[in-house]
Amino acid sequence: MAGVSTREPSFSRGRRQTSSETTSPYRPLQRCRGRGVTLDNRGSDATLIIPGGLRTESDFMKALALGADRVGVSHSALQAVGCLGTRACLTNNCPVGIATQKPSLRARLEVAMSPKTLANWFGASVEWMQVMARACGHDHLSKFETSDPTTWKRDVAYLTGVSYGWVVPL
């Protein structure tokens, strides 16, 4: 889409990377905050990567707005090509043929259709994030700020510093 660049931002190249496996995008941000690292670390010498727990483009956008330099999308991408999430990857018994070497199970994977489905998923995700970036007044996905999102959940507001947008005050 025109108007919003998705090219990799130059500020994150060549830095030390910090990673934390988690099921919530807020946990590593909370840990960093507790260690004195600001949520908006764009200018520090560390790159904050949220490798898991993100399922939709709105999760990706929230993580970027909270200061993440990178987000992991592997689980969602696997689901886009047909993964059912049965967690059978290491057993060689993937029911849809994605993570198996058994010919009978591999035959279930629609090889011709999967790349198109994945490209469509990535395109739609990026397009939605670009729409949200423009709605927040930004011309690049890396320009999301902590002040962009608002939450109605008290716990999220306390943990992340995101603006609380509910009727009852904090």
Identify whether 34 is part of a domain.
yes
Q: Within a 13 Å sphere around the CA of 147, how many CA atoms are in the beta-carbon half?
A: 4
Q: Determine the pLDDT at residue 39.
A: 47
Q: What is the pLDDT of residue 103?
A: 93
Query: How confident is the model at residue 49, as a pLDDT?
Result: 77
102 assigned to some structural domain: yes
Is 103 domain-assigned? Answer: yes
- Number of structural domains in the chain: 1
If we measure between CA atoms, which residue out of 86, 85, 81, 76 comes closest to residue 111? 81
Taking 70 as the pLDDT cut, the residues of the chain under it are 1-46, 170
What pLDDT score does 12 carry?
37
Q: Is the dihedral of CA 28, 47, 21, 140 positive or negative?
A: positive
Cα separation of 84 and 91, whole Å? 15
The answer to whether the pTM exceeds 0.75 is no
| Residue 96 structural domain | 14-164
In a domain, 26, yes or no: yes
**How far from the centroid of its chain's Cα atoms is residue 129's Cα?**
11
Q: Is residue 153 part of a domain?
A: yes
User: What pLDDT score was predicted for residue 93?
Assistant: 93
